[in-house]
Structure 1
Amino acid sequence: MKPPEPSLTYIYFFVILSIMNKRIFKILLIEAVVPERSRTSIELAHPVGPMYLASCLREDNRERYIEIFDTKLSFDVAGDLKKYMRRIRPDLVGIKAYSRDSDLLTHLCRLIKRIDRKCIIVAGGPYANAKGESLLEDPFIDFSVLHEGEITFVELVNRLEKGEDTDDIKGIIYRKKDEIIKTPEREFIHNLDFIPLPAYDLTDDPRYNKRYYEYIDGDKRYPDAVQVRAKAMTIFTSRGCPYNCIYCHNIFGKKFRARSSGHVWKEMKLLYNDYGVHQFFIWDDIFNLDKRRAHEICDLIIESGYDIKLAFPNGLRGDLMDRDLIFKLKEAGTFFITYAIETASSRLQKLIKKNIDLDKLREIITVTSREAGILTQGFFMFGFPTETEEEMYLTIDYAVKSDLDFTSMFIVNPFEGTELFDMASHYTGLKEYRFDYYNVNYSLAEVSLEELKKIHIDGQIKFHTPERVERAWEKVRFFRRET
């Protein structure tokens, strides 16, 4: 399938500028995710990061040509990238990548430079933050933007566009001759309402919602449990988390910063009225840290009378929930909530610095799932450093005896740039733990890797009984009948 063409109005605007002999700085923003690994709906979120950058670039200077290439939608990434490069001829390409997609980032950078050696490549996102200066050891990457990019990236583009020096820009890593230089970090954006809303028009592509509604495995198509409306959008209502879980990245900092309830509602209302979006995936780190704001957002939705559904694939800390907020979220259209439990071992809760109240969370799960009737998922992890077989089965027992509808059970796999990654290097005796997102190479626990994988499978079998699966899918069918 060929890449989407920009709107005629957008093209005509830049044709006129060209006729006027105005130099147009052209930018291609890429969300780099390996497509074959992102066929499930939960992975097919819109590229919100590049969308925010595009809107900031536009607000700064309307006379820039910008397009977004989301590799998740591509069945031929290399071929589609070549088409973008030859059609747009960008002066600069910005690429966001996660650690799991680092190989794709490397491949894209090489391909871009092969097509146009003068094209400037700027990397950003979780992987760039995790690697730090070492990312610039790749000769095909010219700059790296750290943490939030809305101010830093725009300033960098401005300087490059004018041919000015970039040495004093905060929050970047760059190469000067043979030296890799990291500038002082930029302060986080305090007022998130200051950031313009994402450039939805650059990703208004029906293919998102086709694949959101069903996920594909070869020739088979399966319904998606967390999609009950035809059009959906991912939104962030806050950034940052004050907790210290050792397995989390710290891209947005430890200070919780939230958009105002009115600003969040402005975005939802715009998407609902102008783009036909009726379902919203809230992807915050911790949406419910400020309960008053959470209630205010719900009240605005309820008072509008709009046919809206909310899903929380993450972002709700379970032991901060209470009955009032759960039922307010339900009234506002929430049908899906995920709680991250991770482990039922009190010892490991302290080790990983999660420190969640397991007894309270068990009660919250019951209220959410049984009383409010919301689809409730739990996240669990097996294989923390020093974890015993007994502790793993304690976690399985917690999950099985809970009122969760679904679980996602993972084997611990430390991300570079986290405290857990450093701990993994220590426990494996390796100078540097070798990260592979899709293939866990080592057991950090007190069991072998083979035993760890067996326990992981055993947990999923014990939890997903036919009765539990049927009960969960009955909830799914109920929400779909409401549509």
Structure 2
Amino acid sequence: MRILLVNVPHPAIGSRIPKEQLPPFGLLCIGGPLIDDGHEVTLVDGEFGPRPLGTLVAEVVRLAPDAVLFGHSGSSSGHPIIAEVSAAVAQALPTARIVYGGVHPTYFWREILRDEPHVHAIVRGEGEETARRLMRALERGELLDDIPGIAFRRGDEVVGTPSASVITDLDAYRIGWELIDHRRYSYWGGKRAVVIQFSRGCPHLCNYCGQRGFWTRWRHRDPVRLAKEVAHLHREHGVEVFNFADENPSAGRKPWRAFLEALIAENVSVTLVGSTRADDIVRDADILHLYKRAGFERFLMGMENTDEATLKLIRKGGAVAKDREAIRLLRQHGILSMVTWVAGFDDQTDRDLFRGLRQLISYDADQIQALYVTPHRWTPYFRLAADRPVVQADKTKWDYKHQVLGLSRMPPWRLFLWVKLIEAVAQLRPRALLRWAWHPDPKIRHAIRWYYRMGRRVWIHEIAGFVFRDRRSDDGRTVADHLGAAQDHEEEASRVAARRKVTPSASAPAPAA
């Protein structure tokens, strides 16, 4: 089959302002197995430019594929754009099969198939094996009922098959790197870059996380194989920066250390950036020198809040003392720390926000990323937020960078001013500016200055958007009204095979005493 993978332009501010694009890693993960199955696979990346939607549709129509596969890491905020583009493609190419995968369609498959008749099938959960089986069935004209992990329409009936099994061997499916021109993708200030993944899933129980249930459980790639892949991409394609897509790559200390040591043995000079938990940094205090030698320049740590009561509410499982210690340890080893701070978990007041600002400053992190809580109906947190008012009805704005939930004791404009003030004060405090002006490590100095340049443009863009473009709602609609009923009973997207208890057969020899 002629298969086209389409990455639509995303409305998220971070995708637009830096003028640097990372490749759509999820689509590349699907593309590799499909190529190996003999399909003719092409990727169209609408992020470049970004392409106007009409131009993107025209390019898809020109290529005349048999099947068009849509997916986007932006999840729910990217769905309205995918819906618009896929509908236009289906109208122009009525014989093409439209397939949609990713986090959002995994949980909203009923609504999508009900409301968007042009979508032929939805891939739920991890897609490497499911997409292979689906494309094979579509090519042969076979029934779809026996393919686990999909949803489709049979006449007027919407059908969902049983969940697919979680992928236990992440090295069984290769990434389709040949689908991209590496010269076009950059990050970290114009350096050639890709997204990579050591693990999937997270063992922790944060109740607001929209990713935890999608991956179902934590697994990791073979440490040595991944190190060789990183080295190959650097040597053969000039890739300098590797952005880890993992939620928690360091969850397993032993395999994580094995990866760091294997990459050090490859003797390549690369920049690694990723996310982890403060607990893991503190746990790994004795091997942080390996992090640095392997190439790590920054870790984003999802601290979410500095208030102990809020951390308990969202089941973060962290502690303020460990957060501070993790930042100190990273700085001691020459690695930048970025912390996320999320507004709106509870009904905050000016006093709460001022206290949060003071605590953030005392943390002395290198970079701050202020976000807004954004509920997902497949997470336990959704039940806590279901009755809260919605102040942003445009679902393309449900991207963590726009305020979507109202507060009873503060209008939206005042919370917005607080968030912008927190960002500005945290980044312009004297200690932070001193590091910007002078840092002994030239690579870290480059990273700091790049982040300030990008952050300044994003900060101004967000203010202009709030004042001139964003339209806030005040119609009394609640989160439940906007998104539907809670779905946390379906949070785990894949099934995990039960461990079988093996008992000796009657003919088997008895174990030695």
TM-score normalised per structure 2: 0.79
Kindly provide the CA deviation profile for residues 4-33 of structure 1, in whole angstroms up to 9, marking residues without a partner as x.
xxxxxxxxxxxxxxxxxxxxx100011223
Tell me which moved more, 341-350 or 33-42.
33-42
Q: What CA distance in whole angstroms lies between the structure 1 residues aligned with 2:144 and 2:309?
A: 48
For residue 187 of structure 1, the aligned residue among 165, 168, 191 is: 165
C-alpha change, 1:188 and 1:239, in structure 2 (3 Å) is same
Q: How does 1:136-285 map to 2 (within 5 A)?
A: 136-137=113-114, 138-196=116-174, 198-209=175-186, 212=187, 226-227=188-189, 230-249=191-210, 250=212, 252-285=214-247
Off by >4 Å, runs of 4+ in structure 1: 40-43, 432-435, 480-483
C-alpha change, 1:453 and 1:85, in structure 2 (3 Å) is closer
Question: Which residue matches 1:7?
Answer: none
C-alpha change, 1:418 and 1:36, in structure 2 (3 Å) is closer
Question: Which residue matches 2:254?
Answer: 292
C-alpha change, 1:423 and 1:434, in structure 2 (3 Å) is farther
Extract unaligned runs of 5+ from structure 1.
1-24, 213-225
C-alpha change, 1:79 and 1:368, in structure 2 (3 Å) is same
AA partner of residue 203 (structure 1): I
Question: Which residue matches 1:56?
Answer: 33
Q: What CA distance in whole angstroms lies between the structure 2 residues aligned with 1:310 and 1:257?
A: 20
Q: How does 1:320-399 map to 2 (within 5 A)?
A: 320-322=280-282, 323-369=285-331, 371-399=332-360
C-alpha change, 1:291 and 1:201, in structure 2 (3 Å) is same
Q: What CA distance in whole angstroms lies between the structure 1 residues aligned with 2:420 and 2:346?
A: 19
Kindly provide the CA deviation profile for residues 103-137 of structure 1, in whole angstroms up to 9, marking residues without a partner as x.
21111111101211111101111221242311112
Q: What CA distance in whole angstroms lies between the structure 2 residues aligned with 1:141 and 1:390?
A: 49
C-alpha change, 1:361 and 1:289, in structure 2 (3 Å) is same
Does residue 131 in structure 1 map to residue 132 in structure 2? Answer: no
C-alpha change, 1:181 and 1:449, in structure 2 (3 Å) is same
Tell me which moved more, 387-396 or 295-304.
387-396
- What SS does the corresponding residue of 1:185 show, helix, strand or coil? coil
**1:35–1:73 Cα contact (<8 Å) kept:** no
Does residue 479 in structure 1 map to residue 440 in structure 2? Answer: no
- What SS does the corresponding residue of 2:2 show, helix, strand or coil? strand
AA partner of residue 168 (structure 2): H
**1:383–1:445 Cα contact (<8 Å) kept:** no
- What SS does the corresponding residue of 1:193 show, helix, strand or coil? coil
- What SS does the corresponding residue of 1:243 show, helix, strand or coil? coil
Question: Which residue matches 1:112?
Answer: 89
Q: How does 1:21-100 map to 2 (within 5 A)?
A: 25-34=1-10, 37=13, 38-41=15-18, 44-59=21-36, 61-62=37-38, 64-97=39-72, 98-100=75-77
Q: What CA distance in whole angstroms lies between the structure 2 residues aligned with 1:386 and 1:129?
A: 31
C-alpha change, 1:279 and 1:441, in structure 2 (3 Å) is closer
**1:424–1:444 Cα contact (<8 Å) kept:** no
Kindly provide the CA deviation profile for residues 138-163 of structure 1, in whole angstroms up to 9, marking residues without a partner as x.
11211111110001111000000001
Kindly provide the CA deviation profile for residues 371-410 of structure 1, in whole angstroms up to 9, marking residues without a partner as x.
1122221110011134454443332222101221110111
Question: Which residue matches 1:304?
Answer: 266
TM-score normalised per structure 1: 0.84
- What SS does the corresponding residue of 2:423 show, helix, strand or coil? helix
**1:26–1:92 Cα contact (<8 Å) kept:** yes
Give how far 1:294 is off: 1.7
Give how far 1:448 is off: 3.3
Q: How does 1:310-321 map to 2 (within 5 A)?
A: 310-312=272-274, 314=275, 316-321=276-281
Question: Which residue matches 1:10?
Answer: none
C-alpha change, 1:367 and 1:353, in structure 2 (3 Å) is same
AA partner of residue 92 (structure 1): A
C-alpha change, 1:251 and 1:95, in structure 2 (3 Å) is farther
Kindly provide the CA deviation profile for residues 393-431 of structure 1, in whole angstroms up to 9, marking residues without a partner as x.
33222210122111011122224433333432223399x
- What SS does the corresponding residue of 2:375 show, helix, strand or coil? coil
Give how far 1:266 is off: 2.4
- What SS does the corresponding residue of 1:340 show, helix, strand or coil? strand
AA partner of residue 6 (structure 2): I
Give how far 1:283 is off: 1.6
C-alpha change, 1:205 and 1:445, in structure 2 (3 Å) is farther
Kindly provide the CA deviation profile for residues 444-466 of structure 1, in whole angstroms up to 9, marking residues without a partner as x.
46533233223212312331225
Coordinate RMSD, CA, aligned: 2.6
C-alpha change, 1:115 and 1:482, in structure 2 (3 Å) is closer
Give how far 1:85 is off: 2.9
Count of aligned residue pairs for this structure pair: 436
- What SS does the corresponding residue of 1:338 show, helix, strand or coil? strand
AA partner of residue 362 (structure 1): R
Q: What CA distance in whole angstroms lies between the structure 1 residues aligned with 2:225 and 2:409?
A: 48
- What SS does the corresponding residue of 1:421 show, helix, strand or coil? helix
- What SS does the corresponding residue of 1:335 show, helix, strand or coil? strand
